[in-house]
Amino acid sequence: MRAYKDLSREELLALKAELEKSYEEEKAKGLKLDMSRGKPSAEQLDLSMGMMDVLTSGSDLMCEQGVDCRNYGILDGIVEAKRLLSDMMEVPMDNIIIYGNSSLNVMFDAVSRCMTHGVLGMTPWCKLDKVKFLCPVPGYDRHFAITEYFGIEMVNVPMTPTGPDMDLVEKLVAEDDSVKGIWCVPKYSNPQGISYSDETVRRFAALKPAAKDFRIFWDNAYGIHHLYDDDQDELVEILEACREAGNPDMVYKFSSTSKITFPGSGVAAIAASDANLKEIRRQMTIQTIGHDKVNQLRHARFFKDINGMREHMRKHAAIMRPKFEAVTDQLEKELTGLEIGSWTKPKGGYFISFEAMEGCAKAIVAKCKEAGMVMTGAGATFPYGIDPKDSNIRIAPTYPTLDEMKEAAKLFVLCVKLVSVEKLLAQ
């Protein structure tokens, strides 16, 4: 196929008329498709329904520590849940605290604690003239929403195929003591599906920050969310890497079962050094008498161990994989050679990232919406909702059915073509 930029004005006009006709036909179908967020489908949620039967009114609800899970006690998580999630997060049980239903909540708490009380006895961030966070872009909109909420200045750091631009990260962290943190989704990143290389992780662990209270916010949301059995990304474990590099306190590692069992009703955790956890527990003693131990017990008895969890994730992958492939196959079939977009082909996670021609993302998303398909807003993958190039679009293939996803992929490609032609004609 010829690149669109090589077509004459007459050819572009003829193509535009043809595409507009197809677009009107799509609009006439009255589609109602939701690709706005990375939500599991009903079919995926059904995989965890057996959890509802694990505990009954006749169940023994004593945990291994001899505490009745119906009652008060055990601030930082029952042993069964710690064992399961520490294996999932690849950290020792002693370095984990079990929280409630959402890792986003844990991350918000972590930033809030730094703002109001500082880090390990240092000046609270709210008392400093300026606080900055590094934000790999494109990235996760809810991370950026947290730092924006607290008035923290966000600094864009470009993503590369091996993770954030580490030359820039090292420079900014070393030169500016107002840089207090960085957001990371290190495995199957949101939205690109990139996994950080071994070198990138080790460079993170060896950072020499000007700020002694600098923290890496390591959101390993997709640690076991592989799409393929025989082709999986592996990640150097960051806590151990930081310890080896002489920076044991520099990282907070987050995870949850939100996209493993039931989003909003899962189990979340933070892993960190002994010193960090001691500080977090001190806050928790004021904040809560303990999180939902019944839910922790339910998860532990449902999966039994990490092998049960991995087997469960294979079932998720079997549902998700054809949807991802429906998108990437359509993109490859229809857009290869046209030079109007590029895309990622992730091995896991929940998203595909599409880079349109500069200045086209908002128009493409708007065209999709007009034809009945809701996508994540263009710009959402950047701090303050501002994509400087207006080119990144996050595709979330999981929630629609496979047939809907095939229909959605065709509509998306059509909108990309139409907006790209309009852009070239306007130049």
Task: Report d(CA 140, CA 147) in Å as an integer.
Answer: 12
Pairing status of strand 352-356 against strand 179-184: unpaired
How do residues 117-129 score in pLDDT, each as one tens digit? Answer: 999 999 999 999 9
Q: Is the pLDDT of residue 35 over 90?
A: no
The two tokens of residue 337 are: 């050679």
Q: What band does 90 get if pLDDT is binned at 50, 70 and 90?
A: very high
Q: Mean pLDDT, to the nearest integer, of 304-330?
A: 98
Under 8 Å between Cβ of 347 and 193: yes
How do residues 351-385 score in pLDDT, each as one tens digit? Answer: 999 999 999 999 999 999 999 999 999 999 999 99
The two tokens of residue 417 are: 């073509």
Q: Is the pLDDT of residue 1 over 90?
A: no
Task: Report d(CA 298, CA 101) in Å as an integer.
Answer: 13
pLDDT of res. 415: 98
User: Maximum CA pair distance of the chain?
Assistant: 79
The two tokens of residue 414 are: 């059509």
Q: Is the pLDDT of residue 34 over 90?
A: no
Pairing status of strand 341-343 against strand 352-356: antiparallel
How do residues 5-32 score in pLDDT, each as one tens digit? Answer: 999 999 999 999 999 999 999 999 998 9
Is residue 23 within a helix (H) or strand (E), and if so which, with residue range? Answer: helix 9-27
Task: Report d(CA 214, CA 107) in Å as an integer.
Answer: 15
Residue 373 sits at φ, ψ, to 5 deg, of -125, 115
Task: Report d(CA 356, CA 420) in Å as an integer.
Answer: 8
How do residues 54-69 score in pLDDT, each as one tens digit? Answer: 999 999 999 999 999 9
Residue 64 sits at φ, ψ, to 5 deg, of -60, -25
CATH of domain 4-44+310-426: 3.90.1150.10
The owner of tokens 């009255």 is: 30
- Domain limits of the chain? 4-44+310-426, 63-304
b/e sequence 216-231, b meaning 16+ C-beta within 10 Å: bbbbbbbbbbbbeeee
Closest to 354 in 3D by CA, of 419, 402, 260: 419
| CATH level 3 topology of 63-304 | Aspartate Aminotransferase; domain 2 (3.40.640)
How do residues 151-166 score in pLDDT, each as one tens digit? Answer: 999 999 999 999 999 9
Task: Report d(CA 38, CA 320) in Å as an integer.
Answer: 11
b/e sequence 291-329, b meaning 16+ C-beta within 10 Å: bbbebbbbbbebbeebeebeebbeebbebbbebbbbbbe
How do residues 168-211 score in pLDDT, each as one tens digit? Answer: 999 999 999 999 999 999 999 999 999 999 999 999 999 999 99
Q: Mean pLDDT, to the nearest integer, of 269-290?
A: 96
How do residues 380-416 score in pLDDT, each as one tens digit? Answer: 999 999 999 999 999 999 999 999 999 999 999 999 9
Give the C-alpha distances (Å, rounded to integers) separating 350 from 152, 192, 306, 400: 27, 9, 21, 13
Q: Is the pLDDT of residue 284 over 90?
A: yes
pTM here is 0.97
Pairing status of strand 132-137 against strand 215-219: unpaired
Q: Mean pLDDT, to the nearest integer, of 88-112?
A: 97
Q: Do domains 4-44+310-426 and 63-304 have the same CATH topology?
A: no
Closest to 251 in 3D by CA, of 205, 209, 210, 185: 205
pLDDT of res. 37: 87
**Average pLDDT of the chain to the nearest whole number:** 97
Task: Report d(CA 32, CA 208) in Å as an integer.
Answer: 50
Kindly state the DSSP code that residue 192 receives in the 8-state scheme.
Answer: T
Q: Is the pLDDT of residue 130 over 90?
A: yes
Under 8 Å between Cβ of 380 and 15: no
